Amino acid sequence: MLRRLWDRPSPIGLDIGTCTIKAIQLDSGRNEVLELAEVDVPRLPNDPQVAESIIAQCIQDLLKRRRFWGRRVALALGFDEITVQSIRVSPLPGKNIGDVVLEEARSRTNLELNDVEIRFLPAGIVQQGELQRQEMVLIVAKRTAIERKLRIAQQARVIPVAIDAEPLALVRAAGRQYRRQSDQNQTMMFVHIGSRATLVVTVRNERLLFAKYFSLGGREFDLTLARQFHIPEDSARALRRSYGDRRVAQRDPEVVATVQDTLRPVWNRWLEELSRCFRYCNVTFRGEPAEKIVLSGGEAAPELQDVVSRFFEIPVDLLDCFRGIKCTSRIVDSAVWDIALGLALHSGRAQRESRDTVSVEEPSGAPT
């Protein structure tokens, strides 16, 4: 199908996760899903080169099966590929704020600046004692991780127009869905729950206030059940999924009670980590407390929504990624498409001069 240049669709948002790879492409106005698909990723070997080849083959197979337009993709760096933290700096007379942030980053990361890409976003002015300081969200990406994504893209014969950071993709996807004025005036905490880790971002008026990963996710839930019932991890995951996906009236009360009792200690550890993020934001940004929590990612489910709601006693939603975006496909678990959607919403233009995204120009001689 031929398209005019100005009708060119979005880049394909390619979310390479631990268990699945998801791909979404939107129309030029970013208002309609043109195509979406996902594929399971097999258990990867320890050999990095072989693992990269398997992922690249999965991407090729995925794109061949569906009618995606072109080969331009936006990729993301995630939990073990970037470091995200909040820092505070004081502007110095005659010194660029970027240089001040880089000096602070050098002292905190213990990494050579030549080995990383650093981006930062101003979160706002905060009070620290009698001083006012600038709060920054610092994102440090390992060059080795960027190079790995580029190698996978080359093997998959796709053209990476952007290598984004997961927190920014999540903010972009969430911001697309919460656009009403009442939403803009709220401080909202978005929680992406993946297999190995949980990502927390706090946003107000489309401004990123806070971002953090902590290493608790669905796999820890599965391992907890596996140890308790002496079953393989895959069986534990199937048990957790099967009882949770059934309608309430169809659930066996004894199974529900046993699974929930087993999971409660790990849920409590997860909630305590989430609570630390919640308290930090409420103390740092006084007068702008979080008023809503929104869950997304592969582990977002009504059961966990209920657990979080009872713990925090504020409204808790599941992210509906396709609210306000036309999608002809029937999507059962909309919340799992958050990162892929955020990547598809990327402009697709190189932004090396910007400090809010890690981007790359389209390489010369790239496959078409």
More confident residue, 300 or 129: 300
Residues, the chain, total?
A: 368
Is the model's pLDDT at 163 over the cut of 90? yes
In this prediction, residue 353 carries a pLDDT of: 34
Question: What domains lie within the chain, and their CATH numbers?
Answer: 82-141 (3.30.1490)
More confident residue, 14 or 104: 14
Residue the block writes with tokens 């609570």: 275
pLDDT confidence bin for 125, thresholds 50/70/90 = confident
Asked which of 14-18, 100-104, 108-112, 267-271 is least confident by mean pLDDT, the reply is 108-112
In this prediction, residue 245 carries a pLDDT of: 53
Is the model's pLDDT at 145 over the cut of 90? yes
* Mean pLDDT of all residues belonging to the chain: 85
In this prediction, residue 181 carries a pLDDT of: 67
Residue the block writes with tokens 């998801």: 22
Look up the pTM and report it.
0.88
- The closest alpha carbon to 189, from 82, 311, 324, 350, belongs to 311
In this prediction, residue 243 carries a pLDDT of: 63
In this prediction, residue 359 carries a pLDDT of: 39
pLDDT confidence bin for 358, thresholds 50/70/90 = very low
Question: How many Cβ atoms from other residues are within 10 Å of residue 205's Cβ?
Answer: 12
Residue spans of beta strands (DSSP E) within 166-265: 187-193, 198-204, 207-214
In this prediction, residue 307 carries a pLDDT of: 93
In this prediction, residue 179 carries a pLDDT of: 74
In this prediction, residue 368 carries a pLDDT of: 29
Is the model's pLDDT at 126 over the cut of 80? yes
- The closest alpha carbon to 36, from 299, 341, 339, belongs to 341
Using a pLDDT cut of 70, give the percent of the chain over it. 88
In this prediction, residue 250 carries a pLDDT of: 59
In this prediction, residue 91 carries a pLDDT of: 76
How far, in Å, CA of 7 to CA of 4, rounded?
Answer: 5
